[in-house]
């Protein structure tokens, strides 16, 4: 994690292509934040508010997003491999072309989310079933 990137995010609510790998961002207010292309591998974003945030083509591999508010966010092309999205609100989010392989979406809200072309392989769906649609 880059501390300068974290300070920039706190000051401006924007840090595209920032390095937040392994960062603890839990509970943060990141509404409308620009994190496009950011490295967020294994970051803790649980209970964070990412409403209307731009996370397009970000790498959230192994990230913790349980109980996060991610509704109306742009996650197009985002890597969410092995991400914990249990109980997350992804209502009306753009997940087109996102990779949700091995992600846990148990009890997540996907109402009106755009999931066309999203990749599901060993993905736990909101109802607890496993989807291997794209394996």
The span from the CA of 64 to the CA of 132, in Å, is: 22
Predicted pLDDT at 11:
84
Statement: residue 16 has pLDDT above 90:
no
Alpha-carbon span 131 to 11, nearest angstrom = 40
**CB distance 26 to 49 below 8 Å:** no
Q: Which segments of 3-125 does DSSP mark as H helices, in order?
A: 3-12
pTM exceeds 0.85 for this model: yes
Could you tell me if 64 and 84 are in contact, meaning their C-beta atoms sit under 8 angstroms apart?
A: yes
Residues 116-131 have pLDDT tens digits of 899 999 999 999 999 9
Q: Give the count of beta carbons closer than 10 Å to the beta carbon of residue 11.
A: 9
CATH architecture of 1-135: 3 Solenoid (2.160)
**Helix, strand, coil proportions of the chain in percent (round to 5)?**
5, 20, 75
């Amino acid at each position: 994690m880059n501390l300068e990137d974290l300070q920039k995010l706190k000051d401006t609510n924007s840090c595209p292509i920032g390095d937040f790998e392994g960062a603890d961002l839990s509970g943060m207010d990141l509404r409308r934040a620009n994190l496009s292309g950011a490295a967020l591998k294994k970051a803790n974003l649980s209970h964070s508010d990412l409403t209307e945030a731009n996370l397009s083509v970000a790498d959230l591999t192994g990230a913790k997003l349980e109980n996060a508010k991610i509704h109306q966010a742009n996650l197009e092309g985002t890597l969410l491999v092995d991400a914990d999205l249990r109980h997350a609100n992804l209502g009306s989010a753009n997940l087109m072309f996102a990779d949700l392989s091995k992600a846990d979406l148990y009890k997540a809200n996907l109402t009106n989310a755009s999931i066309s072309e999203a990749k599901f392989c060993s993905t736990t769906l909101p109802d607890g079933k496993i989807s291997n649609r794209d394996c």
